[in-house]
């Protein structure tokens, strides 16, 4: 079956511009995560959705970052007034509903490489 | 604060050799420890995972060793193959509704033919 897809695969923008990154999770996965992976580093958690609501946005670095998931499936990560330090690969992952006592595997998309000039 | 420390940063082994990657964690609330494999241009993919109630888990050529008292765990790749050349990340997740992953910084493994 289809995995997690992300578009675009690459995005080049200029400092100060607004960008949107899209994630299509695996069908039936209620949990959706966004991570950011800087060059040579492991992914860092940004935000978690359970259904339509952002259940945990503690990883968002500042208020320029925002994400939505209006219908509980596709999610969009939005970055305002981009800065050069925002350049990274943005990864999306989805899973079945995670439980507090157990872990459901997160399946990652290929990521969107964002370059801010 | 880096909650999961990973070493080495890079590793070169000969085909057929054993690759060993080590990780240490600080947060005692972590209760699930997966390893991910990432090829260039791809997202991380789950390789193998362990819970702290066991000391070792083996799947094919891949083994995780876990030392709860030392808060350390390691990945062993037996009979390493050139196709294993990739970046490996250890990770951890703890009790909580989000179950987000905390990743180590990664190890770039190169297996020479």
In this prediction, residue A53 carries a pLDDT of: 85
Q: In this complex, is the C-beta atom of A25 within 8 Å of any C-beta atom belonging to chain B?
A: no
Question: How would residue A52 be classed by pLDDT, with cut points 50, 70 and 90?
Answer: confident
**DSSP result, B72-97:** EEEEEESS--GGG-EEEEEEEEESSS
DSSP assignment letter at A105: P
CA distance B22 to B67: 11
- Cβ contact (<8 Å) for A98 and B42? no
The average pLDDT across B12-41 equals 95
Residues of B in contact with A106 (CB under 8 A): 46, 101
Residues of A in contact with B104 (CB under 8 A): 42
What is the tens place of the pLDDT at every residue in B51-102? 989 999 999 999 999 999 999 999 999 999 999 999 999 999 987 767 899 9
Among B86, B100, B107, B108, the residue to mutate for chain A (most A Cβ within 10 A): B100
The average pLDDT across A9-23 equals 98
CA distance A46 to A66: 10
Q: Which residues contact B37 (CB under 8 A, 6 or more apart)?
A: B44, B45, B47, B86, B87, B88
The average pLDDT across A45-66 equals 92
In this prediction, residue A38 carries a pLDDT of: 95
For a pLDDT cut of 70, what percent of chain A falls above it?
95
In this prediction, residue A99 carries a pLDDT of: 63
Half-sphere exposure of B105 (CA within 13 A, CB side): 12
What is the tens place of the pLDDT at every residue in B90-111? 999 987 767 899 999 999 999 9
Q: Write out the two tokens for B65.
A: 């060793």
């Amino acid at each position: 079956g289809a995995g997690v897809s992300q578009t675009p695969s690459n995005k080049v923008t200029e400092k100060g511009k607004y960008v949107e990154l899209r994630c299509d999770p695996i069908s039936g996965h209620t949990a959706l995560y966004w991570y950011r992976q800087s060059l040579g580093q492991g992914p860092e958690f940004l935000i978690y959705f359970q259904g339509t609501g952002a259940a945990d946005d503690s990883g968002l670095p500042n208020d320029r970052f925002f994400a939505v998931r209006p219908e509980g499936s596709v999610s969009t990560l939005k970055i305002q007034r981009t800065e050069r330090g925002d350049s990274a690969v943005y990864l999306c992952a989805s899973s079945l509903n995670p439980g507090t006592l157990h872990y459901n595997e997160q399946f990652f998309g290929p990521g969107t490489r964002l370059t801010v000039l | 604060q880096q909650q999961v420390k990973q070493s080495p940063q890079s590793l070169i082994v000969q085909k057929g050799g054993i690759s060993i990657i080590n990780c240490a964690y600080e947060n005692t609330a972590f209760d699930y420890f997966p390893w991910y494999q990432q090829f260039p241009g791809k997202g991380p993919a789950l390789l193998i995972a362990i819970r702290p109630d066991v000391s070792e888990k083996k799947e094919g050529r891949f083994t995780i060793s876990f030392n709860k008292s030392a808060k350390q765990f390691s990945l062993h790749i037996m009979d390493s193959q050139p196709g294993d050349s990739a970046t490996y990340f250890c990770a951890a997740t703890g009790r909580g509704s989000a179950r987000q992953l905390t990743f180590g910084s990664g190890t770039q493994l190169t297996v020479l033919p």
